[in-house]
């Protein structure tokens, strides 16, 4: 009996060790297999765009243009060069298309057989003596501007969530970010200089050429060439992060509580779960609170963490990957990320770290602006549209955007919640037809909830949807023809919706 018990004990221990090993392998095996698979599937095989062709961030728009012309880096030479292009366009009876970082996704920078101007080389930046005004040439990217401002203790009031974009492109889309309680970027533009179709240069602001100023902000390059821009700057900030994960039904109350507890919230966003078991049912709300009167560390170079990319890309086309990512974002972030950061550090993040580099698939953004009191009903419809079409939603964040009092073609007539959605899809006609259908349904839903959709993305909206979302579009077209009667400045967006 005693011996038997001893033998049984030995077996029991061995069995226990065996089961523990199996359980350990099973629990770690799946995530490890998933992550390795994600690395293998994350193809970097997208071919470069050929000479005299242009494409944009959709990777759907590889187009032959007459010529790609790089603007010179010195302003005096650039002005002369651009005037000659405008004369050439008139003589050759063709159009001029303008490109910054080309992160629009619907050919807003592109037109067949046009003279395409690459604005990137025109990118000098400087500060006024009191550091309160930034002067930036149109081709400067935020990735260049933020380190420059940081050296002077300054930051930017409103920009996108990534640093990849140019000044010219950002104000032509009238971008917004997750800066708390702020309207789109138009409100922080003091003035700009614009070269019109006849080669003349106009300074535009709320006091000078006001109509043009309002049209150019959010005008998608259709009124002239933005040469340079003056922006208000603000002091850089030391920020401390606070996140809570709550059921979506409690999100608004939790958000109000987080905001109400602090009077110095500077950045805020919410990320919704895309995991199938909790799709849109859970939300992580993150705020950044300014810590005043403490030393602010200098900006450090952005460093890519391969783990973040693998976890992100692993959520493409995989329910399990979406679950792993939600777990990582809600549970691990607090351990891995630093609690204290600076405003410039947060903003100085490129978009390339998470975007697809594959020849076969692409990531497509959508943004919808809906008044707060309609946001729950809108979300319920979005969820059912996504489930019905089995669309591969890989990210959804929510931000607040305050009323736009400046731009003509405005998307924020009043305070809005902005829903930013990233989808992954094949690059091909069938996937595109399906995405067009989904987009139209999502737009209809936003419109039915007194909302808008954002214009820099794919041109899937119908004419009628565009005009419902932007009732001032007819007048926009009329003013474009007034300022540019020969339609020298053009792109696929204009060609599609102006007729
Ligand atoms: C990954 C990703 C993340 C994004 N995140 C956000 C976000 O957080 N918030 C947001 O609001 N938007 C966001 N966007 C959209 C983005 O802000 C716009 O697409 C913006 O226009 C990109 O800037 P760009 O330099 O790439 O512009 P481009 O695509 O190069 O140009 C945009 C428009 O501006 C015109 N243009 C460019 N330069 C000039 C010039 N010098 N003079 C006149 N017209 C000019 C072009 O002709 C075109 O019509 C995002 C896009 C992507 C792909």
User: 490: Cβ–Cβ under 8 A, 6 or more apart, which residues?
Assistant: 95, 96, 97, 111, 114, 222
Which of 367, 350, 355 is CA-nearest to residue 184? 367
pLDDT of res. 2: 47
Distance CA 479, CA 9 (A): 88
Residue 145: pLDDT over 80: yes
Please tell me the distance between residue 161's alpha carbon and the centre of ligand 1 in angstroms: 12
Segment 431-486, tens digit of pLDDT: 999 999 999 999 999 999 999 999 999 999 999 999 999 999 999 999 999 999 99
Please tell me the distance between residue 191's alpha carbon and the centre of ligand 1 in angstroms: 19
pLDDT of res. 64: 98
pLDDT of res. 338: 66
Say if ligand 1 is within 6 A of residue 101 CB: yes
**89-94 mean pLDDT:** 98
Distance CA 192, CA 212 (A): 10
User: 124: Cβ–Cβ under 8 A, 6 or more apart, which residues?
Assistant: 73, 75, 136, 137, 140
Residue 321: pLDDT over 70: yes
Ligand 1 atom nearest to 175, measured from its CA = 11
Task: Report the DSSP pairing between strands 416-426 and 340-342.
Answer: unpaired
Q: What CATH number should be reported for the domain whose range is 238-472?
A: 3.40.462.10
Which of 274, 270, 229, 234 is CA-nearest to residue 253? 270
Say if ligand 1 is within 6 A of residue 58 CB: no
Say if ligand 1 is within 6 A of residue 172 CB: yes
Residue 8: pLDDT over 60: no
Say if ligand 1 is within 6 A of residue 491 CB: yes
- How far is C-alpha 130 from the geometric centre of its chain's CA atoms? 31
Say if ligand 1 is within 6 A of residue 322 CB: no
Distance CA 23, CA 344 (A): 45
Contact 125, 145 (CB under 8 A): yes
pLDDT of res. 304: 86
Percentage, residues of the chain above pLDDT 70: 96
Distance CA 240, CA 206 (A): 35
DSSP 38: H
Say if ligand 1 is within 6 A of residue 138 CB: yes
Please tell me the distance between residue 172's alpha carbon and the centre of ligand 1 in angstroms: 7
Residue 430: pLDDT over 90: yes
Distance CA 436, CA 421 (A): 15
pLDDT of res. 336: 59
- Could you give the 3-state DSSP secondary structure of residue 279? coil
DSSP helix, strand, coil percent of the chain (3-state; round to 5):
40, 25, 35
Please tell me the distance between residue 174's alpha carbon and the centre of ligand 1 in angstroms: 8
Please list, residue by residue across 155-185, b when 16 or more beta carbons sit within 10 angstroms of its beta carbon and e when fewer do: bbbbbbbbbbbbbbbbbbbbbbbbbbebbbb
Please tell me the distance between residue 164's alpha carbon and the centre of ligand 1 in angstroms: 9
**180-201 mean pLDDT:** 98
The pTM for the full model equals: 0.94
Q: Check residues 188 and 331 and name the one with the higher pLDDT.
A: 188
Candidate of 100, 171, 223, 347 to mutate for ligand 1, largest count of ligand atoms within 8 Å of Cβ: 100
Please tell me the distance between residue 59's alpha carbon and the centre of ligand 1 in angstroms: 15
Residue 291: pLDDT over 60: yes
Residue 239: pLDDT over 80: yes
**12-30 mean pLDDT:** 76
pLDDT of res. 398: 98
**277-284 mean pLDDT:** 97
Say what angle helices 319-327 and 306-313 make with each other, to 10 degrees.
Answer: 140
Distance CA 171, CA 184 (A): 9
Residue 332: pLDDT over 90: no
Please tell me the distance between residue 288's alpha carbon and the centre of ligand 1 in angstroms: 25
Count the neighbouring beta carbons within 10 Å of the beta carbon of residue 325. Answer: 23
Say if ligand 1 is within 6 A of residue 57 CB: yes
pLDDT of res. 372: 97
Question: Could you tell me the fold of the domain covering 64-235+474-497?
Answer: 3.30.465
Instruction: Count CA atoms closer than 13 A to 350's CA, side-chain side.
Output: 13
pLDDT of res. 16: 77
Structure-block tokens of residue 86: 């405008």
Structure-block tokens of residue 93: 């009876």
Give nearest CA residue, ligand 1 atom 38. 168
Ligand 1 atom nearest to 99, measured from its CA = 30
Mind spelling out the 3-state secondary structure of 287-355? Answer: EEEECCCCCCCCCCCCCCCHHHHHHHHCCCCCHHHHHHHHHHHHHHHHHHCCCEEEHHHHHCCCCCCCC
Which of 143, 223, 109, 219 is CA-nearest to residue 174? 219
pLDDT of res. 335: 61
**395-414 mean pLDDT:** 98
Concatenated DSSP letters of 48-107: PPPTTEE--TTS---EE-SEEEEPPSSHHHHHHHHHHHHHHHHHTT--EEEESS---SSS
Helix (H) or strand (E) holding 429: helix 429-448
Say if ligand 1 is within 6 A of residue 165 CB: yes
Please tell me the distance between residue 369's alpha carbon and the centre of ligand 1 in angstroms: 17
**421-435 mean pLDDT:** 98
Give nearest CA residue, ligand 1 atom 14. 160
pLDDT of res. 337: 58
- Could you give the 3-state DSSP secondary structure of residue 385? helix
Say if ligand 1 is within 6 A of residue 186 CB: no
Q: Residue 378 — very low, low, confident or very high, per pLDDT cuts 50/70/90?
A: very high
Distance CA 222, CA 326 (A): 41
pLDDT of res. 182: 97
Please list, residue by residue across 102-119, b when 16 or more beta carbons sit within 10 angstroms of its beta carbon and e when fewer do: bbbbbbbbbbeebbbbbb
pLDDT of res. 5: 47
Q: Check residues 263 and 99 and name the one with the higher pLDDT.
A: 99
Instruction: Count CA atoms closer than 13 A to 306's CA, side-chain side.
Output: 5
pLDDT of res. 333: 67
pLDDT of res. 1: 41
Helix (H) or strand (E) holding 423: strand 416-426
Q: Give whichever of 26-40, 67-81, 259-273, 294-308 has the largest mean pLDDT.
A: 67-81
Beta strand spans in 171-293 (E): 189-195, 201-205, 225-235, 238-247, 265-272, 282-290
Mean pLDDT of the chain: 95
pLDDT of res. 18: 73
Please tell me the distance between residue 222's alpha carbon and the centre of ligand 1 in angstroms: 14
Distance CA 110, CA 108 (A): 6
For the chain, the domains span: 64-235+474-497, 238-472
Distance CA 123, CA 120 (A): 6
Distance CA 272, CA 375 (A): 13
**50-78 mean pLDDT:** 97
Residue 180: pLDDT over 80: yes
Give nearest CA residue, ligand 1 atom 51. 103
Say if ligand 1 is within 6 A of residue 98 CB: yes
Please tell me the distance between residue 245's alpha carbon and the centre of ligand 1 in angstroms: 32
């Amino acid at each position: 009996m005693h011996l038997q018990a001893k033998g049984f004990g030995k077996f029991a221990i061995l069995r226990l060790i065996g089961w523990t090993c199996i359980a350990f392998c099973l629990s770690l095996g799946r995530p490890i297999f998933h992550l390795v698979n994600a690395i293998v599937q994350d193809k970097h095989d997208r071919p470069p765009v050929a000479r005299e062709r242009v494409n944009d961030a959709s990777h759907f728009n590889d187009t032959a243009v007459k010529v790609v012309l790089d603007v010179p880096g010195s302003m005096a030479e650039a002005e002369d060069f651009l005037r000659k292009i405008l004369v050439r366009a008139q003589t050759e009876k063709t159009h001029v298309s303008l490109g910054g970082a080309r992160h629009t996704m619907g050919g807003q920078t592109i037109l067949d057989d046009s003279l395409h101007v690459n604005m990137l080389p025109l990118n000098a930046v400087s500060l006024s003596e009191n550091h309160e005004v930034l002067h930036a040439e149109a081709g400067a990217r935020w990735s260049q501007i933020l380190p420059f401002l940081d050296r002077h203790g300054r930051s930017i009031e409103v920009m996108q969530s990534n640093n990849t974009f140019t000044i010219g492109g950002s104000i032509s889309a009238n971008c917004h970010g997750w800066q708390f309680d702020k309207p789109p970027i138009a409100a922080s533009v003091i003035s700009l200089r614009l070269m019109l179709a006849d080669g003349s240069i106009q300074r535009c602001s709320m006091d000078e050429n006001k109509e043009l100023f309002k049209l150019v902000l959010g005008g998608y390059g259709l009124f002239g060439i933005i040469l340079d821009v003056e922006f208000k700057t603000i002091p850089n900030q030391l920020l401390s992060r606070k996140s809570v994960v709550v059921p979506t039904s409690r999100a608004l109350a939790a958000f109000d509580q987080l905001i109400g507890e602090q009077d110095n919230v500077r950045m805020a966003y919410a990320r919704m779960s895309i995991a199938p078991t909790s799709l849109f049912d859970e939300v992580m709300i993150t705020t950044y609170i300014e810590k005043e009167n403490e030393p602010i560390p200098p900006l450090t170079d952005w460093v890519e963490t391969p783990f973040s990319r693998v976890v992100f890309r692993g959520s493409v086309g995989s329910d399990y990957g979406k679950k792993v990512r939600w777990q990582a974002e809600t549970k691990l972030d607090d351990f891995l990320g630093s609690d204290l950061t600076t405003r410039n550090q947060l903003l100085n993040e490129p978009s390339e770290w998470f975007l697809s580099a594959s020849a076969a698939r692409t990531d497509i953004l959508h943004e919808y602006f809906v008044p707060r009191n309609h946001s729950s009903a809108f979300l319920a419809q979005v969820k059912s549209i996504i489930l019905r079409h089995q669309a591969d939603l890989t990210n959804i964040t929510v931000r607040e955007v305050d009323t736009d009092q400046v731009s003509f073609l405005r998307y924020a007539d009043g305070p809005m919640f902005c829903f930013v959605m990233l989808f992954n899809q094949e690059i091909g006609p069938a996937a595109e037809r399906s995405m067009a259908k989904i987009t139209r349904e999502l737009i209809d839903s936003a419109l039915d909830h007194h909302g808008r959709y954002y214009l820099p993305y794919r041109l899937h909206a119908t004419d009628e949807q565009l005009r419902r979302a932007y009732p001032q579009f007819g007048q926009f077209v009329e003013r474009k023809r007034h300022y540019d009667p020969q339609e020298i400045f053009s792109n696929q967006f204009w060609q599609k919706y102006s007729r």
